[in-house]
Structures are given as C-alpha cells and as structure tokens.
Chain A
Amino acid sequence: MIDRREFLRLTTLGGGAVFASALTGCAGSMMGGSGRDDFMFVQLSDAHWGYKGPANPESQNTLREAVAAVNALPTQPEFIVFTGDLTHSTDDPVERRRRLKEFRDIIGGLSVQTIHFMPGEHDASLDRGAAFQELFGPTHYRFEHRGVQFIAIDNVSDPGASVGEEQIAWLQGELARIDTNTPIVVFTHRPLFDLVPKWDWATRDGSRVITALQSHRNVTVFYGHIHQEHHFRTGDIAHHAAKSLIFPLPAPDSAPTRAPLPWDPAQPNKGLGYRSVDAAGMPAAFALREYPLVRT
C-alpha cells in the first residue's frame, strides 16, 4: 500500500519502472483522499504453460519463479489478476485441460488466493472457452473492490477476436448500473484499440467497447497479449499492457514479424515480468510498478 508521499515518489521515478495513471482532473482529488480505499493488486499475464520452444527453453520453471516472486513481495496484494494465455494452445482437448489444471496447481502456491482469471486466445479460441469455463468459471464478469468496479471483457473466445453483440449488450447493461463517476478498471486480453492490426494486436469490435466505456469518466484498462509493457490512451481511457511470463515479443511494428525475441542464456528471464497496481485514494488513480522476473 502507498501513502501520499510514497505515491509522489513513485510517480517521479524515471526509467519506466513506475507509471502513474492519473485520470485527467483527478490527481488533486487523489492526493487529498482519505486513503481508506487504497489497495494494491498484481497483474500477471501470458504464462503460456505448456509452451516448449527455443524462445524459452526453461519454460518449466518460469511460472513457478513468478509465484515465488509475488509471494516475496514486501506487501501482499489484495488480489491477483491473470489477464489471459494461462496456457499455450493445443489442438488436443484433453491436453488443453491438463495444461489448465497444471497451471491451476502451480498458482495454488500463491500466498494470495483471491485470484481473478481471464482467458487468452491460446486458452479459449479453439473451443470457444469451454475448457477454461470448466476450470475457471465465466470469461466475462464484473466485481467490486473497495469502491472500484472491475469488469473483465472476453475478446478471445471468439477465434476472430470479437467481443460480440451479446457481450457488448451485457457490458452496456452493467455500465448503466454504475455511476458515471465511479472508477472502472477493465481487464481484457487483447488490446481493445488497433495497436498493430497486421500483427493481430487488436480487437475486431474493440472500438464499440471503447465507445461504451466512454460513458464513464474514470476508466483504465489492463491487458496482456503483446508480452511487454506498453501504455496508450484513447481519449481519457488509459490502456496498460503487461509483460509476459514466457517470452518477450518485439516492440509494436518494430520488426518484420511478431516472432518472439531470441532467448538469452545469460539472462534467461530477460523481458519477463509482472506489475503491481496501487490504487490510491478516491477517485482512483493508479501507480504501476513493473517488476522484472528475477531468479530467487
């Protein structure tokens, strides 16, 4: 948890380790907040359990290292969110379930067991989310935590990366029940905006989701899929991508293809990591801390 002084220190650090996502016009309110609603959560993403390949020859270790690293944080989060691609894709439905169960067993070692799960396309696109739902529950949902509304949006169960009419109608209905000043955090797997369409870094009907979210003043999106830290704004909405726990991908549109960056045996976890998110005060602004995944 952070207090006002610590938040200011974090937001003035350089090097991209910390990113303050203060909403326009909200920073002053946040700094003067009572602090009663401060909390911290951790975002983990893109574990790709079951991946075997040259981009991470030590893939059997990486997820366990992440569990140990989160457990070693000096302050434990109030909850953890996995923003998709828990497992690496397989055509075999039995193997898919085996990987999901193994993933679930490994993250059972996390000290914090309030965990919200989302699928990525590797988990859900080949069976429209059937195996994921059997083991982890719904692929889109809403929950409240300390005055912040969290909405998980599924843009992967459709292999064409559409959210779809039904879910958009559900989203609009949920938003209609939330005061327009209430802070909203959206979890999703793919970027909702067109980051690099030629790399499939987009959501086919993401613009409709963003339009729906613009009905509210304080919206922040956390997502995965692109295997790197990335920050972007569409209007007043901030979008933050997280690093992966398996292999890094090239910076947006920086290479001919989106092939994984080569594994470096001297730095086997290079480019991997996770983040914590401090929600300070109400209305909420968020201080993001990016943690490299280091050997413990």
Chain B
Amino acid sequence: MRRTLVAAALISTLAMAGAEPPPVQRVDVVAKRYSFTPAEIVLKRGVPVELDITALDFTHGFKVPDLDIRVDLVQGQVTRVTFTPDKAGRFDFLCDNFCGAGHEEMGGHFVVRD
C-alpha cells in the first residue's frame, strides 16, 4: 500500500535542541463501512500523535471538528494523520464523506488525558 502523509500539525524543535525526542503515540486505525476501529482512542496531552488510518472499502472522510483536522482516507491506502493534542477532553471524529446507509453511525472519539 502506498503511504500517504498528511501533516495536520507537526512540531519538531528537538533536532535543534539536541534533546531526546518525545515519545510518539502511534495508533493504527481501520476505517470501513460503518465504523472506525478502534472507535475510542486514549491519548496523552502534549505528546505527538501519529494515526495510520487504513480505509478498506471506500474513500471515507476523517474529520475532527474541535481539532480542525480533516482528510480524505483514500480507499486501499494508509493515511497518516499527525497532531499534538494540547488540551484534555473528549474530541469526536467522524466520517464526513457519505458512504452509505449507515454513514451516520461512522464515528468515534479521542479521550485526551493530562
């Protein structure tokens, strides 16, 4: 599969500082009609996140309104979404490309903890 890189927010000042790179929270996600798996993703605030999302059966959308993130998840590819959560809380995500009769059920959420 071709890997698509999508940088929603990439922070990298570490090379300059010569500091230990921060841990990265990597999560593999599968998008298929009509669910994201996992649908709940627990994250730690302030730690960079890499989501590798595989869309199996449709070019789904991935939208996180409260984090200002949206990408198309091209069918048959892995789409990487990177960001660093800077606030704790629950943040919903959804498929925003209409994908069929169960489209309205296709969503999930992040739980960002301090």
Interface residues, chain A, CB within 8 Å of chain B? 88-91, 121-122, 125-126, 156, 159-161, 197-200, 204, 257-259
Contact = CB atoms under 8 A, between A and B. Distances in A.
Interface bracket on B: 10 to 19
B107 A197 contact: no
Q: Which 9 A-B pairs have the closest CB atoms?
A: A125-B98, A197-B65, A89-B101, A121-B98, A198-B92, A159-B98, A159-B97, A198-B65, A160-B97
A200 B104 contact: yes
Interface of B: 61, 63, 65-66, 72, 92-94, 96-101, 103-105, 107
B63 A126 contact: no
B52 to A, nearest CB: 22
B67 to A, nearest CB: 11
B94 A259 contact: no
A17 B101 CA distance: 32
Contacts of A121: 98, 103
B101 to A, nearest CB: 4
Contact of A88 (B99, B101, B105): B101
A257 B107 contact: yes
11 contacts: A88-B101, A89-B100, A90-B101, A91-B101, A122-B101, A156-B98, A160-B96, A160-B97, A198-B66, A198-B92, A199-B94
Contacts of B100: 89, 91, 126
Contacts of A197: 63, 65
A199 to B, nearest CB: 7
Contact of A126 (B94, B98, B104, B107): B98
A161 B104 CA distance: 13
B20 to A, nearest CB: 36
A256 to B, nearest CB: 9
B58 to A, nearest CB: 9
Nearest to B107: A257
A224 to B, nearest CB: 14
Given A160-B61, A257-B107, A200 B101 contact: no
Given A160-B61, A257-B107, A198 B94 contact: yes
Nearest to B70: A204
